[in-house]
Structure formats: structure tokens, C-alpha cells
Amino acid sequence: MSTTAASKPQVNDLTHLDYEAIHYFEKAIEKEAQGLMSDAVENYRKAFKLNERVDTLYRSWKVPTTIKKLTNERGKNVMTRVDEKVVAKINVKSLIASFEHIDAEAQCQSEGPKDKSDVASSVAVSVSPLVRLPNDIWLYILEILVISSPESWFQMAITCKKFAYLGLGTSSIWRILCQLVYSKQVYEENQGRFELAIPLDQTEIVPQYGGWRNMLLQRPFVKFHGCYISVVNYYSEGARGESSLSWTNPVRTITYYRYLRFYPDGTVLKVLSIMPPNQVVSHLQRDSRTIPYEDKSEKEKESHKIYRGKWTISSTGEVHIRIDNGSVSYLIFHYYLHVKSAGIHKHGKLNWNKYFAVRKETPDDDRSGEMLDYSIRNEKPFKFSRVKSYTV
């Protein structure tokens, strides 16, 4: 079947092989997004073998269908492209402050068809009388949401300009967020000290940042309602067959993942696995010791271990992870990472600083305390992913 960009295929025009090719193409996109490059290439090859123009077929039929579905579910502006350079120039604080005296108003919608001879009448959509409640009451509701369900607080805060001002432009909201976030951090400077170098009372620290909102945006912290994932791809060159006439050796892309989950009591869970997040994340729990294989045919293989360690964070944002009982029994592993922002996601990334191990102190071992440095040249940053099932 030949497909051109100008002639969009109809559902009835697609053959069984076309559907199969699209299936492999979608699977390849999914694997590529997960970092499984070897699996992605394999599925791309299968897709193009079935239909050499499957990419055009996918864009001309599948993409519009998906866009239509998203538009019906989330509104007509769901696929609107935003100029990020223009957005970056917006002073968000000033914009939200300008909403202070704006109240919820009824919108007008056209009623009936509109043609050349008839002008559709407009009717006002009624607004709930609840929006007329005093701002103090709404602010109290938003403060409760910040504590009980931060996601609900944010969703409510972006519903209209009135709630944007109350939910995002009020100092008390940011104060609660700061107290919730920073009271759970385990600071390196406070370890083993009677008088804490970094006070637990956030009001003693906020003057350094000129406000609660600035502190939350500038002062680094570790997140708990999700896990940090690092995806690493490298290439493995195989050997040519004995009778092979190929000039080059076969190359395969190998993908592995590092997972970290932090707890406010200083506990951290660490996993190194070839399994993608959808098979690992749900098993990162305190009471779990291994990550089981989902494929029953591999049930005889050893499951991946979940290692436990301790973490601290410095006032400058350096995270230190120590694992005493890791993959090598006679070594203590040390990871040093630094909290960074990933685009609009503040404090959502951990960059590598250094990684080494120290031999444990054992009797009659002249190598006790010996340090082994590991290269971090090929390691990739950890990026935070929200996991709704995680609780603190």
C-alpha cells in the first residue's frame, strides 16, 4: 500500500499488515522513550519491513486520531504549541499579583447555529455562588489542600485567576510548603551535633532568601513522592562469526537503569537493573528485598536486589548516599550527587559528583580503609519521576 502525506488513509483502507506495522512502530517509540534503544531499533526494523512508509502512515492516520481523542478529553487547546522563549520572559510573580482584584465572572456562550442571516444569541453560563465566599475562607481551604493533597492544591490554583492569586500568590501557602519540605530533609551539617547548624525552624532561614517563595525555588531539597531514575545506554561490540564475510563486528545497544528512592528518616533504596521503570518502580518499598521478574519464563533467574543505605543533603545541595551492605560484602559504597533543576522542574535532577568505595575494617587485613574510585564518565543524571502510589 502506498501512502502519501497529501492523501490521508481511511480506516477501511488499512490492511492487516498496515495495522501490524503501526503496532511495531508505536512499540518502537515507547521503547525509545524508555531508553531501550536496542529494542526500539528492532521494532523499527520490523515496522519498516512490513511497510516501508510506516512513518508517513503513522503521522497521517494515527497522529490525527490521537489528537482528536486528546482534544475531546482535555479541550481544544491541548495541542497548542507554546513559545518557550516568550514564556521565559514572563514575570510570573508580577502576573499573579495582577490578579488580586479579579473575581470569577460568568462566561458567555453562543446558543444555536450561526449563519449569514441569523446571529446566534449569547447566554451567560452560571457561576457557582461558592466563588463569592470571602477570600479568607478560600485561602483556608487551599492551605488544607497543600497539607493533605498538594496536587489538588495546584490543580485548584490553576482553575482561574482568582484562585491563581490566592493559591500561588499568597505568602502563607509558600510558608506551609517550605515547612513541609525542609523539615523532612536530613542535613549533613546537623549529623552528630547537639546544636544544629541548620535550624529546624524555617523562619530563621527565610530572611536569607527574601521570602518563602524564593526559598522554595532557590534552596535545594530531595523529593519523596516518587523516585529518581538514571537511564544509561552503551554499545557492546560482539565478535564476527567464523565464516562471516562482514567487515565490521555486530554492535548491540545495552540499556540499564539506576533507581533511587528517598525517605525522610534518612533511608534510601537503591537498585541497579536492566528492567524498565514499569517493572521496578512499584516494588521500591521498605518491606521489599528484591525486584521480581514479571516474565514467568524467567522465574528461575535471580531477582534484582534492593539495597538499603543512608542519605544526607548539605546546605549547598550535595547529596551523600552511603550503602554499607551493597553488592560487594567487604566494601562500603559512597555516592555523591548534586541537586539541580531540570528545565521547569525545580530541584528535579541529581547530577553525579563522585562515586567510590572503601574497604571495611577487618582483622588482619592490611587493605582496610583502602579507597577504590569508580569512573562516572558514562553515568547519566538521575531525573525525578512522580509516583502517585508512594506515600511518606
Residue 206 pLDDT grade (very low, low, confident, very high; cuts 50, 70, 90): very high
Task: Evaluate whether 223 touches 389 at the Cβ level (below 8 Å).
Answer: no
Q: Kindly report which listed range (14-18, 91-95, 129-133) carries the lowest average pLDDT score.
A: 129-133
Give pLDDT tens digits for 163-172. 999 999 999 9
Q: Is 50 exceeded by the pLDDT of residue 182?
A: yes
C-alpha distances in Å from residue 256, one per residue of 259, 325, 352: 10, 21, 16
Q: What average pLDDT is seen over the chain?
A: 83
Give pLDDT tens digits for 231-241. 988 776 655 55
Burial class for 113, CB neighbours closer than 10 Å (0-12, 13-18, 19+)? exposed
Greater model confidence, 72 or 349? 349
Q: What is the pLDDT of residue 117?
A: 52
Residue 2 pLDDT grade (very low, low, confident, very high; cuts 50, 70, 90): very low
Q: Return d(Cα 245, Cα 94) in angstroms, integer.
A: 68
Q: Collapse the DSSP code of 166 into the 3-class scheme (helix H, G, I; strand E, B; otherwise coil) and give the result.
A: helix
Closest by alpha carbon to 387, among 224, 185, 157, 150?
224
Give pLDDT tens digits for 53-103. 888 888 777 777 777 776 776 666 666 777 777 877 888 888 888 988 887
